Structure 1
């Protein structure tokens, strides 16, 4: 009986200690202003990562956190294309998984169809690798329909299988007839069906069956996110087609249309973080939709340290009204011996008065092999085990103070955020 009483008391104290996340639903207003407590399901991965950490006070702290009776949603945890480690990106199923794993913010990358309707896709021309389009009659409408691989007489591949299929090649109705799949392709494919393979072995196709992979319009994503009580971070994707599209649909029309869909849905500006890799889009929002522009995020597309902006450039962003920058994770971290530490870019961004969001955790496969590519390029020498993910999060949160972290598996970030009380 005493144990039961202690469990009840522990649960009550946990509830009292956790700040509440506000719902993004603005209709009706009374419901929007009511606090939302969102209990989440983390699954085994965060606990696995903590177990694999090198012994340290941080590991002890995170292990102690595992005994909590429940975990809650946090805006520090951002669902990158949903939960793209295992679910087809930018699908309803992926978004639902991200919310269930405690993402307090979820992303819809925004592009447009032939009839100028906004849809959620990472790239305007990624349909060949993220949907089943090449295995449907719509393949013939692609910019470049599927072409099989070619091999010489010795069996050596001389040309990889390929296809280029864009949302702007098809109408919204046609887009909605497709099914999402894991972003991958088979370069050796001889048939469209073979081309749809190639998923990395550290991901899975278990959630990409014929009855899942539901594609979504931007407006549908807004309504879903409102119902889930999460904030929203749409990214206006750089068009792959020449703008103005068909001579009269300008980049400004595109940028305005995206924000207009939030206005039409009565979503409060404080619940939206519009993103773009184009500074012109960000400045457009700041000048023409200032309430939404206040939280506009300027994404940094640097591929190496040498391409990162200087302190003076970062200060110029702030002077133009930009408040938030979002570089890739490698830009923010460096090493000091075996320790992961803030980079000079991170220090410069904070000195310029900029807030920071970063991308993308859980996108590099296995970490213990020591060859983790793009996102770890500046600190890979300090990564020796899978648990380094938690060390990365700790430096980002405690030493740099980022607002949030994009993740392909949001549960990992949610676990850390709960352990550290990151709910604002």
Structure 2
């Protein structure tokens, strides 16, 4: 029996056939299986090929074999580091064989170069050694869960505005009598505007739009110069069920993030609790053990719900934190001043949360002379027995100008791309994080493999 991984064209053909109830020897294949792989065997009666339905989900033995690779980027980053013992140590690992590590969490796949939450990006993240794969979860208007970073980002992350589905958007594109796009800054397309069938007809693209554009093509053509559209040709989007099947076939663990609805809830009778429960039930139905699932949310009430109703899955639940959801009223968040925090770390721990995931800049501070140190926030999290993961490395452009939001307060210590490795080292060795989300997982995998972090 031979396992065949489909090319983009083959996958597209299979999707089309699946919609017409593709049958082989009277056997109907679910779309999630067709979109990921086929098992082909020989029909003993006539020697023809027969499609054999595999058992899903493969939560123990991987179906797709992978050749792990770092590519060139980790070596570029290490070479770009200032001279230091850490640079010497990382250079000494240049001949190591890449391997999978749960310390490397794939943030939306590999969106530094691949459209986020797409098949190709997910597979690329696995090939780079990421052990845990993220799906940001949103819902369609017929109650299906799909992988999108926000309920209202279809206009920036897919080709919807260039399709007839644009008319169904909450704020559709407006084209005047002269053929000019007149509302580029206001367009909004939500997963809840369309059905799951509509969603599956879309193509993912790099997350960016030109809000000053006067045409649809110019609106969509806005990828940052330090990213690329080289791998944007396929852009296959996935439902949560398909994502689970793919991650399991790649022998990866799962970290779904429940995204905040932008519609008024209940939505057509669908409540927040329905949404929270459906996410967990989807993993249960797929047979994925709770130990392999790390449900996330920026909403502490979502974590409360899972603690009360799904304690097994809540054990690994991750409370995501940045200044948007953990700033005290009337304050500006300061990672070194507990009076500016909405909740103390002791309160969060007492609530039953085991793991927090602050943005990386909340965990690292600088002494003002270029030395990176754990922040007060990081030290108090450790003191209160909280496990820590963090997000998201490789999300900024070149770091020669300080790195922007993801490196807030670290400008004196950040002046070249190689400094990413110094940040990773402080997070791993001094803060003691259990894993790092990255838009390019190979960077984290290289460091983790070199340091023996599994």
Query: Which TM bucket (shorter chain)?
Result: 0.7 to 0.9
Say whether 1:138 aligns with 2:165. yes
1:66/1:311 CA distance change after superposition, 3 Å: farther
Deviations 1:267-293 (A, max 9, x none): 011111000011111011111111100
Question: How does 1:91-170 map onto structure 2 within 5 Å?
Answer: 91-147=118-174, 160-170=184-194
Measure, in 1, the Cα distance between the counterparts of 2:183 and 2:305. 42
Aligned to 1:184: 208
Aligned-residue RMSD, C-alpha: 2.3
> Take 1:37 and 1:139, find their aligned partners in 2: how far apart are those partners?
39
1:84 alignment partner in structure 2:
111
> Which segments of 5 or more consecutive residues in structure 2 lack a partner in the other structure?
1-54, 325-331
Moved more, 191-200 or 100-109: 191-200
Other structure's SS at 2:373 match: strand
Deviates more, 1:409-418 or 1:307-316: 307-316
**Contact conserved, 1:124 with 1:237, CA < 8 A, in 2?**
yes
For 1:28 and 1:163, how far apart are their aligned partners in 2? 39
Which residue of 43, 65, 70 maps to 2:93? 65
TM-score (norm 2): 0.81
Counterparts of 1:233-382 in structure 2, within 5 Å, are 233-246=255-268, 248-303=269-324, 305-306=333-334, 310=341, 313-336=344-367, 337-370=369-402, 372-382=403-413
Q: Does 1:220 find its partner at 2:252?
A: no
Q: Which runs of 4+ in 1 moved over 6 A?
A: 27-31
The normalised TM-score by structure 1 is 0.87
Quote how far apart the aligned CAs of 1:188 are.
Answer: 2.6
8 Å contact kept, 1:324–1:357: yes
* 8 A Cα contact 2:57 2:245, kept in partner: no
Q: Please name the residue that 1:152 is paired with.
A: none
Per-residue CA deviations over 1:193-232 (Å, capped at 9, x if unaligned) read: 22111110000011112xx100100010000000000111
The yes-or-no answer on 1:204 pairing with 2:224 is no
Match of 1:52 in 2: 80
Distance 1:159 1:33 in 2: 50
How many Å separate the matches in 2 of 1:130 and 1:181? 5
Structure 1: distance between partners of 2:182 and 2:56: 60
* CA positional deviation for 1:147: 3.5
Contact 1:38 1:73 in 2 (8 A): no
Matches within 5 A, 1:379-394: 379-394=410-425
Rate the CA distance shift 1:216–1:124 in 2: closer, same or farther, 3 A: same
TM-superposed CA distance for 1:368, in Å, is 1.5
Separation in 2 of the partners of 1:99 and 1:161?
Answer: 35
* 3-state SS, counterpart of residue 105 of structure 1: strand
Flag the 1:53–1:163 CA change in 2: closer, same or farther, 3 A.
Answer: same
Distance 2:152 2:313 in 1: 27
CA distance in 2 between partners of 1:31 and 1:239 (Å): 30
- Structure 1 unaligned blocks of 5 or more: 1-26, 150-156
Q: Is the 2:358–2:391 contact (alpha carbons within 8 Å) kept by the matching residues of 1?
A: yes
